[in-house]
Copies of this chain bind each other. A is one copy, B any other.
Amino acid sequence: MSELNRCQVEFQPVGKRVPVSKGVTILEAARQAGIELASSCGGEGSCGQCLVVVLSGEVSSPIADEKYMVGAHDLERGYRLACTTQVLGSLKVHLPPGTLISGQRLQLESSLGGIDPDPFVRAYPLHLPPPHLEDLRADLTRLEDALRSQHAIAELKAGRAAIASLPGSLRQNNWRGQAFVRQGEIVAFRPSSDTPLGFAVDLGTTKIAAALIELESGSCLGSGGRPNPQTSYGEDVISRLGFAVRSPEGGQVLAGKVRETLDELLGDLVRQAGAAREAVAEACIVGNSAMIHLLLQLPVRQLAIAPYVAASNSAQDLPAAELGLRMAPGASVHIPPAIGGFVGSDHVAMILASEMDRRETICLGIDIGTNTEISLRLPGEERMTAVSCASGPAFEGAHIRDGMRAASGAIERVRLGQNGPQLTTIENQPAVGLCGSGILDAVAELYRTGCLNAGGRFQSDRAGVRSGELGLEYVLAPSGSSGSGRDIVITQHDVNEILLAKGAIHAGLVILLESQGVPLEAVEEVIVAGAFGTFISIPNSVAMGLFPRLPNARYRQVGNAAALGARWVLISRAARQTALEIAHRTDYLELTTYPKFNRQFALGMRFPERRQP
């Protein structure tokens, strides 16, 4: 093959380059680069999952099917299907999170997306004259004078803890080092080798995801997650609020648990990064309103009963020490604003990082979790609208007999073929349970193959359906082939949990659209966010009625956009401002008091009409 026919394709944000022959598809080029793209149709241009963005370079023109799947608007913005687009020259290609499969998606977690760091905390190198008999200025005055004269910072202040740290840190560093300053507030005096760090947290009802970020570069030094330790006091939002309301010390216990876990997570991250806690200058924590109320130990009685009023939806900055986070002495925690009801700062962060607020399409944003938030954006309109659905923790693997988190051995894909279940597990290990996307696949396939009827009841005459301890169930993996040594099954109860979640999300979505007078077919884009939403099969979600029947290409799986939004707010002053504007521009719609809610909830618990594949 001549050199003339060779081109180079660069894939971002995974950062891989591969030389390929002119004429291959981008999907093929990705395979050659060792990147597996989502593609349930096997490259036939019919599933719309392998959506990529061509940032630069020459490619083939879209074929008719692709034009239909992607839409003129997105084609203009460079969106293409990897399977039908040919490489005609050297390319730079962006892979949206939803297009990558699990393993590679994790790499994305260390990417910032399209934002330039411009943090609130800055480091100012300083060399101070030590005190002597002719110069008896207080340590704080000495530092402030140097910041004013050497760095022209006019307005300075310092809290008690930061002041208390100065006599030690100035003398230990021999009066040389750098001051971390946050909008005129002195955060710490640190050795010259330090760089200011940030702690970004997505505080979910079931899971906590956190990252340690270099504030000035935006680099991620490490990320990690933990189960939310409050889960043992109530798995969903309402039962957890109930615990806080019932017992006088309930709120204190819940706040203490989650604060402790956050501090441990931070400890792990700084240890792994070889950094110092004292260099962590700011944190940004997003979460739904209940999680933020419990974290801050705000009263929740009025949030737990109709009409569900928050103590505060406003953005807050508070000393890290007030939340028991051991960071830099003057470090603070920023909580972005919430929207209303349970639609919290996590949803604001999701709208921010998905840039949904800037879309020029009729756009739905769905963040699936124990509580699912959905918002609607209409082009040319200032206001957006958001609802909250109590979808429960089933998609996070809780309340499901063999549910588990997305770890090694979790079933993440299920196909029921003629020879029985075909399972894909994380890291190809023997199956030990089902993570969210596996549960969803399993239920969708059980319905497609008729093992479940439209009402979600197991049909006892179907192969694989058997009578279990608690009623009918379906065996996905018999004990002999499972990694857990016992049968992995889907029970009737599991199906019911999924149907409840599906009903709640369906009701929210239908009422949200109806309240704004938008017919379903008019929706041009559906942004699916959240760890679970990243990994699910859109076609299966549509087939089982979790998501509405819209062309696959209108769905965008954007990954944990709330966690990404928390990072943006942490490192960018502009993003923090945008978050305020998003909260301000978004109206909260209380679903449970909506007259049609119960009916739509019940409708949503049924499966839709089966379509032929």
Contacts and interface: CB of A to CB of B under 8 A. Distances in A.
Interface of A: 131-133, 136-141, 144, 158-160, 163-164, 166-168, 171, 296-299, 301-302, 306-314, 316, 318, 322, 338, 340-341, 588, 590, 593
A164 B302 CA distance: 12
A72 to B, nearest CB: 39
Given A133-B593, A171-B302, A302-B139, A164 B311 contact: yes
Contacts of A158: 312, 314
A312 B140 contact: yes
B136 A309 contact: yes
Nearest to A140: B312
A436 to B, nearest CB: 31
In the A-B complex, list the 10 residue pairs whose CB atoms are closest, starting with the nearest: A138-B310, A140-B312, A167-B299, A138-B313, A131-B309, A163-B312, A167-B302, A164-B298, A167-B311, A139-B311
A307 B163 contact: no
A133 to B, nearest CB: 5
A137 B318 contact: no
Contacts of A338: 138
A298 B163 contact: yes
B311 A132 contact: no
Given A159-B318, A312-B141, A340-B136, A131 B307 contact: yes
Nearest to A314: B140
Contacts of A298: 160, 163-164, 167
Nearest to A333: B160
B140 A311 contact: yes
Contact of A137 (B167, B296, B309): B309
A580 to B, nearest CB: 13
A338 B138 CA distance: 10
Contacts of A593: 133
Contacts of A322: 160
Contacts of A297: 160, 164
A338 B301 CA distance: 45
A308 B133 CA distance: 9
